[in-house]
Chain A
Amino acid sequence: MTHRLKPSQYAILVAVMLTASVGDTLLTKGMKQVGPVDLHHLSLLWHALFNPFIDVGIILLIGFFACYMTSLSFADLTFVMPATAFGYVVIALLSRFWLHEHLSISRWIGILLITSAVGFVANSPSRTEHPNLDRMDSGVAL
């Protein structure tokens, strides 16, 4: 086995990148509408559940967790890591082009670094082949 990913498995990794970042952005937008919540106004959290941005955000984050765990079932943690980190890039680009925030030079360099990290691992084997791993797969270790 060469541990190349199927197109559907790449799609799951792309979903990991998009759902976490878009979900977080929607939660931020929703909570800004709801207003600050503190210990004395916990009932605001109940009202937050009726905000459409919050609802879609929660659904996306549940989808993120499902996709993240599915990806860990066929790929190494160190292979999936750049995909989760790419969420930072998506958030930065969303804030630049949707929320029209200013991105400093250092943020652009950060975006470049994370993107190249994704490039480094994207074409490499997604799963370690190791005799110890086969033992672990059978449930001896851990």
Chain B
Amino acid sequence: MMSLFENLTAMWPTLWPTLAAIAVILAFVPILGLYMTFIERKLAAYVQDRVGPNRVGPLGLFQAIADGIKIFLKEQVIPDHVYTFLYFVAPTISLMTAMFALVVMPFGPVPVDYESGFRFVVAPGIDIGIIMMFAISSLSAYGIILGGWASNNKYSLYGAIRSCAQFISYEIPLGLSIIGVIAATGSLNIEKIVAAQSGSIWDWNLFWQPLALLIFFTSALAETNRLPFDLPECEQELVGGFHTEYGGIKFVLFFLAEYTHIVTVSFLTVLLFFGGWNFPGIRTDGTVLMMTAGTLILVLKVSLVVAFIMLLRWALPRFRFDQLMGLAWKGLIPLGMVNLFLVAIVLTFGLPKHLLAGTAFLLVVAAWISTYQLQRSLEYSATSRRVATDMRGASV
């Protein structure tokens, strides 16, 4: 017992920063979830020329709190036909995996050669950081599938199955897209990837990997089940998808998981492609001021990405399921492979990285080819429909 205490005392200098970071994340996620719903409602209102919630508190700011209190006090309804154990486990797994992925995610400047003291990440210097993040966030499919299965309801199950197929399809372009970045950096460590972008603004991965950014963002959006790809929960077909049978606090867990996913994806996009906490003119050395500046820059960039994701919801219609699959398998995966091939060429022959910005040109070629195919299939289907109609008319 004594030795445990002594051990803990000896570990304390390295232990407290981790505990502090965990506390920050634990406090951050529910509040963020509440206020992201508020921001999303406001943004939706502005896009639709409305005002949005403005009754509770100044500018309606307490609406999120009121919603939170209301949903926590709701009656716990457990439908008769569910598999009770899985029914309760599913939302927990969903939120747990979503929050677990935040373990390796820096939410402020983390120098590669970190010392003791507070760091803006729970587990700094993890050399498999990005792989771990992907692995854990893929597990959230587990929560959704269990939720759909436990609900014992065909619509929920359909939602879960769709979700499963979607996750499997979009994992591939998601992984493919960042291999270029990783290969150029030579590390899976997120801090190192950001450090590699710390030079001028042109060192941001965005400027030599625009194609990878596009693929990454699209597939990450699909992983979060957000609107252009929200087939697992599309209201018009599946009632509520996998969370049809969930209400009150259990629904909140699913909901928080979804919003945590959005935040994770936005953070990853910023860290991998937009230079993380780097900004031209601001060097993040160890001083408190610079650390704060870096954190603010990171948070600002992340909120811009989050706002963009929310705007996309009101700009795009939902994909049909075959289109969704087609986009992954016929569009993003081939493009990802082409991108990877080009990165390999550039790195092998030591060519300047920014030649790869020309990959946008590839988009054009790929789109031209796919158009040709699309045109043909459209003409074919139109012709066949016409013939079918004519035949029907003739037989009558």
A binds B: no
